[in-house]
Amino acid sequence: MSDTTYNPIKVALKVDKRYSWCTCSFSSEQPFCDGSHRANNATPPMVFEVKEDREAWMCTCKKTSNPPYCDGSHKL
Residue 3 pLDDT level (bands cut at 50, 70, 90): very low
User: What pLDDT, on the 0 to 100 scale, is given for residue 35?
Assistant: 96
Mean pLDDT across the chain, nearest whole number? 92
CATH number 3.40.5 given to 3-61: yes
Percent pLDDT > 70 in the chain is 93
Evaluate whether 17 touches 41 at the Cβ level (below 8 Å): no
Residue spans of beta strands (DSSP E) within the chain: 9-13, 19-21, 46-48, 54-58
User: What pLDDT, on the 0 to 100 scale, is given for residue 4?
Assistant: 54
Evaluate whether 4 touches 60 at the Cβ level (below 8 Å): no
